[in-house]
Structure 1
Amino acid sequence: MYIIETERLHLRELTIEDQKDLAKVLSDPVAMQHYNGPFSQEKVRDWILWNRDSYIKNHHGLWAVILKDSNEFIGDCGITMQEIDQELVPEIGFHIIRDYWNKGYATEAAQACKEYAFEVLEYPEIYSYTTLSNIPSQKVAEKIGMRTYKVFEKNDVKQIAQKATNNEMR
């Protein structure tokens, strides 16, 4: 069952069966250079379980991103609850397999998630945050209309938070 459909993508809940495909991005040292390193297979499985738990608790999480024309799994994107400077807020996050970078998929999926956050979940604002060095993710946030909100420190690393409000979308 699809949660979100865009021109080129379907987003659906992650399942344990997605572990091998999701590991293509979460276990990739280049794709995960802005994290504390690539994930082990066990951590990928835990990631899926964490998102499945979020679907129950929050009615959202990171969803599998599937190409409509080929049914290929290309990553995850969605809305999770994250702590930004000691405040729990809804945040758009994504991880796209490197073979699919620079094709607009992250932007397309993130835009759809932003609309879902406002229209379906009725959040008044939505955030995105990255390390200061993660310029590509910051650019995706800018492309979907987010503006820099604050710079803060999390896990001893400088982060930048961007946000959009529902009022700005009208």
Structure 2
Amino acid sequence: MVIQSQNSFEDKKLGLWFIETKNEQEIIGFVGLWNFFDEEQPQLIYALLPEATKKGYATEAATKILYYCFNKLNYQYLLASCDRPNLESQKLTERIGMRKVEEKIVNGNPLVFFRIERL
């Protein structure tokens, strides 16, 4: 996944970035853009270590990815998806202004899809 991310940065200017604390510069997760399905463009992705959740890191990092997508990559929209039971990720999409657009079963898993348009 790391090698694929490095190649994506070279080819498409996207991939995965580390999320780190400001003071200790400790890596606590990652955020980025990744292809999961057959979409025309990649989706927002993030993950945090359990001890780093509910502190605003994911919201801050996802907001920076929105800015990057709309102002650097010139995307007209951004997608995100998560497992239906993942309520914290659904709350994150709401906090950054995304709206739910679809629910479907993929490989036996119930998924929820979100979208935000460029303003």
Give the TM-score normalised by structure 2. Answer: 0.92
Does residue 105 of structure 1 match 2:57? Answer: yes
C-alpha distance in 2 between matches for 1:133 and 1:54: 30
Aligned pairs for 1:13-28 within 5 A: none
For structure 1, which segment, 120-129 or 154-163, has the greater mean C-alpha deviation from structure 2 after superposition? 154-163
**Cα distance, 1:49 vs. partner?**
1.7
C-alpha distance in 2 between matches for 1:131 and 1:105: 20
> C-alpha deviations, 1:134-153, integer Å up to 9, x for none?
11111111100000011122
Q: Indicate if the aligned counterparts of 1:152 and 1:159 stay in contact, CA closer than 8 A.
A: yes
Q: Indicate if the aligned counterparts of 1:82 and 1:88 stay in contact, CA closer than 8 A.
A: no
* Structure with the greater alpha carbon radius of gyration: 1
Does residue 65 of structure 1 match 2:19? Answer: yes
Does residue 151 of structure 1 match 2:103? Answer: yes
Secondary structure in structure 2 of the residue aligned to 1:88: coil
Give the TM-score normalised by structure 1. Answer: 0.66
Any unmatched runs of 5+ in structure 2? none
Any unmatched runs of 5+ in structure 1? 1-46
Q: Indicate if the aligned counterparts of 1:80 and 1:93 stay in contact, CA closer than 8 A.
A: yes
C-alpha distance in 2 between matches for 1:138 and 1:125: 18
Secondary structure in structure 1 of the residue aligned to 2:32: strand
> Kindly tell me: are residues 71 and 109 of structure 1, through their superposed partners in 2, closer, same or farther at Cα, counting changes over 3 Å?
same
Q: Indicate if the aligned counterparts of 1:82 and 1:89 stay in contact, CA closer than 8 A.
A: no
For residue 107 of structure 1, what is the amino acid of its counterpart? T
**Cα distance, 1:48 vs. partner?**
1.5
C-alpha distance in 1 between matches for 2:83 and 2:32: 18
| Aligned positions, number | 119
C-alpha distance in 2 between matches for 1:135 and 1:53: 32
Q: Which residue of 2 aligns with 1:74?
A: 28
Identity of aligned residues (%): 28
> C-alpha deviations, 1:114-164, integer Å up to 9, x for none?
111001100000011001111111111110000001112222212110010
Q: Which residue of 2 aligns with 1:124?
A: 76
Q: Which residue of 2 aligns with 1:161?
A: 113
> C-alpha deviations, 1:35-60, integer Å up to 9, x for none?
xxxxxxxxxxxx21221122123211
Does residue 50 of structure 1 match 2:18? Answer: no
